[in-house]
Homo-oligomer: A and B are copies of this chain.
Amino acid sequence: MECFEVRTRSRNEFIDITETVRERLRAKGIRDGACLVYAPHTTAGITINENADPDVQRDLQAQLSRIAPQEGLYRHAEGNSDGHVKSSLVGASQLIPIEGGRLALGQWQAIYFCEFDGPRTRRVYLQWLAGV
């Protein structure tokens, strides 16, 4: 397993980590399998979405904040229940196929670290799984 840090600067922020995952894959040299991209946090997550128009990420963040508003009817006293909800909706991880030594992402797909209670220094785990 590998690990790298991500520094976020806002309460809600999506950070494109695709290039970092690609670099680690090249260094690792796996031909066939899958890459598990995992966020070991409960108010963050990993998602795959478009990297061409930055408005897509803004729309996604804004809609998630309508689905789980910061000022909702929550009991948890830390004021970040919205982040916990978003984390479970988006998911703690994504699994991307590897073929011929490359991430088999679609043309418009990028891997995003999703911050839902920043700014913070966060970690991302990469685990390489064997293909058959």
Contact = CB atoms under 8 A, between A and B. Distances in A.
A88 B94 CA distance: 10
Given A48-B42, A109-B42, A94 B97 contact: no
B87 A89 contact: no
Contacts of A40: 104-107, 109
Given A64-B85, A106-B123, 4 more contacts: A42-B56, A56-B81, A89-B89, A97-B127
B76 A92 contact: no
Contact of A73 (B48, B62, B89, B93): B62
Interface in A28-42: 28, 30, 32-34, 36, 38-42
Q: Determine how many copies of this chain the complex contains.
A: 3
A87 B125 contact: no
A127 B130 CA distance: 10
A97 to B, nearest CB: 4
B63 A76 contact: no
